[in-house]
Chains A and B, each alone.
Chain A
């Protein structure tokens, strides 16, 4: 049950919390009270539900962790938004004015915008709230999002668009995956080459 608490708190107080529980358990066993043992488990479980979130919240507040991450990733978020908005306007302009070269790469731009919005939103949220490796988060999220969007396009597109070409859509999502993951990889390289913040 101690796993529910933040690692720092667990390291500092975990053994003592376990000791206190053992003491209580021993006292109930000494009293030969099965009901008491049951009550102890329930009480400890309720106590865990009440206190573990507040310890996590305390930790976040103390470290200002989310704000630090947001500051650190602010540039990356802005660049991503810029690319998505740029690709969206380019696609709209190409369709409105029938610019042939834009229409040729239309599937790629479509995939870039859709997977970019959904994939990066999930990636940034996961980076904010978890402590997993950001590059690994980006790899798996973008892989899953691009894969799911490709399947969705294949299922829906073939029914609604008579000129639908699976190979073109496939290329679009492969390029989208390589592009977005490439950007995350470059960002990770840049971050690791910076001196550690004091």
Chain B
């Protein structure tokens, strides 16, 4: 997908708020609806972050406004799905922002490893 002229520099949006980061991370595997995002976030944070409906849709509203995500037109599995649900998809810009944030966190982790605050991970 071509980079839109109006997209700002991904670094200008960093650091991301935890709810934003986790929603983008949940959508990096594919389209999800609100409840799906909520479950995915709860799962990959081991239940530490539980998004309430207000936080979830307030964040979704801002992400749609900032063009980090869009409402998906086609549905993952129309037969299994409730058509009233709205699915969301990570945009190319959203993907770049997420990657930039992961890189930022990774750099911090590297610093913490050099300072021996956490053990080095084996690759």
Contact = CB atoms under 8 A, between A and B. Distances in A.
A161 interface: no
Interface stretch (A13-21, A90-98, A147-155, A180-188): A13-21
B103 interface: no
B41 to A, nearest CB: 12
B54 A19 contact: no
A44 B56 CA distance: 11
Contacts, number: 55
A101 B36 CA distance: 78
Interface size class of B (residues with CB under 8 A): 10 to 19
A44 B84 CA distance: 22
A5 B52 CA distance: 14
A8 to B, nearest CB: 10
A19 B84 contact: yes
B52 A16 contact: no
Interface range on chain A (Cβ under 8 Å from partner):
20 to 34
Interface of A: 5, 9, 12-13, 15-21, 23-24, 43-44, 46-48, 50-52, 54-55
Interface of B: 34-35, 38, 50, 52-58, 60-61, 84-86
15 contacts: A9-B57, A12-B61, A13-B60, A16-B57, A16-B86, A20-B34, A20-B35, A47-B52, A48-B52, A48-B54, A50-B52, A51-B54, A51-B55, A51-B58, A55-B54
